[in-house]
Amino acid sequence: MDQDQNTPGYEKLLQLWPEYTSTVALDELRKREYARLDRLGEVYLDYTGAGLYSERQIQAHHALLEGHLFGNPHSHNPSSQRMTDLVERTRASILSYFNASPDEYVAIFTQNASGALKLVGESYPFSPEASYLLTFDNHNSVNGIREFARAHGAGIHYVPMQLPEMTLDEGQMEASLSPARAGNHLFAYPAQSNFSGVQHSLAWIERAQALGWDVLLDAAAYVPTNRLDLSVHKPEFVTLSFYKMFGYPTGIGCLLARRSVLGKLRRPWFAGGTITVASVQGDRYFMAEGAAAFEDGTVDFLNIPGIEIGLDHMQRADVDLIHTRCACLTGWMIEELGSLHHANGSPAVRIYGPGGRGMRGGTITMNFYDPAGRVVDHHRVEEEAARHRISLRSGCFCNPGGGELALSISKTEIIGCFNQPWVQETSRFTPDDFRLCVDGKGTGAVRVSFGIASNFDDAARFAAFARRFIE
């Protein structure tokens, strides 16, 4: 009998989410390839932080390295050629996994999603005629692109979100996307929020493109549990980190870029590998074509084949099954946490973002409250969870727009904090300073997230932990 079937509450899960039974293959996968989870008795609920690798992935990668001689790619010696072939095969496997035609897209290896975002930011032709539009709900590595836009005099505009679901307001979006003037205009948004788990419609891609925008889709939090089909939706840029999808290897991300926009990107420098010819005396350089122009120096060649192994693992596990399972666990958890009340009737937990059947993924962000309605410090919750061997996240998850909105911290309050004389003088401001400045309001939240190896027992153990906060 499966561990889940013995866990109290399982019947209710099946009543509410009968489709959970269609995902039992993932229990087999967990037993076979993630045995360490149950052996160690730990509850892992930080899949939005990092996915978990299967033991088979590690063995396959190890066997590959042990069985071959690999050298630095791009030479003509046998060890180099072997490596070049594997790097190129991995590139092709990425395009194929996302159903992206090689005639339409290139896969550029980066260090992580942030590296991919920085590549777009530093190369996009921002100018005083250009603009950068982005949603409040974004990871800091997308927010950071605004500094490239600002440095080149481009207009910067944020689209707000609406509470309580933390979704985009259609009217505001339409108004912000109003037909772009001549020039270059970049719109960036996450397919799934790493703060609230909300999934923003992929239909905005086509809508924005029709109005003259280039679209950057940050898919880092989306692709671990959702299928992204680039033959259906075709943003100019897609960014992601592979460790978030399948845990291993770390240190490799990807920028999927439409070939049609590569021509307008301008690298601010050149490096080994990015040029065809560079001259010292001639003081000129000629950029390479395609992905090579964006990969500085030697790529992480020994780890890159681990990506093909990981993608193969995702295919075998079936991302649609992972999606269904995470949706069921998320729906159950939202209902369960929402039912937690103190003896005086006040709610013990507040969840940010859509309800269980809304447009959302398996990331649930919340705060705990005492019976008087005061927020329980998120650090304390994380520390107590650690004592119960539960791995979760607390803070703002590098998504300040999501945090400011969810925690009702206004622009006036924030500017008031930043404008204090000592901050002006020192140009220093720490999270503790922020907490003191907006005293009485939380400055962070608690996040749990599901993924490839999650089961009902994980969800139930967190719900039991949450009940400890009831007074």
Ligand X SMILES: Cc1ncc(COP(=O)(O)O)c(C=O)c1O
Please report, as residue ranges, which positions from 416 to 445 form the binding site for ligand X (by CB under 6 A): none
Minimal distance, residue 114 CB to ligand X, in Å: 3
* 199 or 454: CB nearest ligand X: 199
User: Which one of 112-120, 164-172, 407-415, 418-426 is the stretch in contact with ligand X (CB under 6 A)?
Assistant: 112-120
Of 57, 90, 93, 114, which one interacts with ligand X (CB under 6 A)?
A: 114
Max distance between CA atoms of the chain, in angstroms, equals: 80
Q: How many Å apart are CA 120 and CA 9, to the nearest integer?
A: 47
Interface with ligand X includes 330 (CB under 6 A)? Answer: no
Minimal distance, residue 98 CB to ligand X, in Å: 16
* 124 or 242: CB nearest ligand X: 242
Q: Which of 328, 396, 398, 417 is catalytic?
A: 398
Interface with ligand X includes 190 (CB under 6 A)? Answer: yes
User: Which one of 32-40, 61-69, 111-119, 369-377 is the stretch in contact with ligand X (CB under 6 A)?
Assistant: 111-119
Rounded (10°) angle between helices 25-33 and 55-67: 50
Please report, as residue ranges, which positions from 210 to 239 form the binding site for ligand X (by CB under 6 A): 218, 220-221
Of 113, 198, 202, 238, which one interacts with ligand X (CB under 6 A)?
A: 113
Q: Which residues pair with 393 in a beta bridge?
A: 447
Q: How many Å apart are CA 468 and CA 471, to the nearest integer?
A: 8
Q: Which of 414, 412, 403, 410 is nearest to 437 (CA)?
A: 414
User: Which one of 16-24, 108-116, 169-177, 433-441 is the stretch in contact with ligand X (CB under 6 A)?
Assistant: 108-116
Tokens of 6: 């013995």
Q: Write the DSSP symbol of residue 439.
A: T
Interface with ligand X includes 46 (CB under 6 A)? Answer: no
Tokens of 34: 């993630």
Of 241, 394, 443, 454, which one interacts with ligand X (CB under 6 A)?
A: 241
Q: How many Å apart are CA 305 and CA 84, to the nearest integer?
A: 11
Q: Which of 83, 107, 97 is nearest to 253 (CA)?
A: 107
* 216 or 327: CB nearest ligand X: 216
- The reply to whether 398 belongs to the active site is yes
**Which whole-number Å values give the CA distances from 25 to 28, 122, 312, 375, in the listed order?**
5, 44, 16, 40
Interface with ligand X includes 245 (CB under 6 A)? Answer: no
Minimal distance, residue 136 CB to ligand X, in Å: 13
Minimal distance, residue 399 CB to ligand X, in Å: 7
DSSP H or E run through 121: helix 113-123
Interface with ligand X includes 194 (CB under 6 A)? Answer: yes
Q: How many Å apart are CA 207 and CA 190, to the nearest integer?
A: 15
Q: Which of 4, 56, 102, 64 is nearest to 315 (CA)?
A: 56
Of 54, 84, 131, 141, which one interacts with ligand X (CB under 6 A)?
A: 141
Residue 122: HSE in the Cβ half-sphere, 13 Å Cα cutoff: 12
Please provide the DSSP assignment of 410-470 as one string.
-HHHHHHHHTSHHHHHH----HHHHHHHTTTS-S-EEEEE--TT--HHHHHHHHHHHHTT-
Interface with ligand X includes 202 (CB under 6 A)? Answer: no
Q: Are 94 and 120 spatial neighbours (Cβ–Cβ below 8 Å)?
A: no
Of 30, 118, 139, 313, which one interacts with ligand X (CB under 6 A)?
A: 139
User: Which one of 107-115, 197-205, 255-263, 431-439 is the stretch in contact with ligand X (CB under 6 A)?
Assistant: 107-115
Tokens of 74: 């791009």
Binding site for ligand X (CB under 6 A): 48, 112-114, 139, 141, 190, 194, 218, 220-221, 241, 253
Catalytic machinery residues: 398
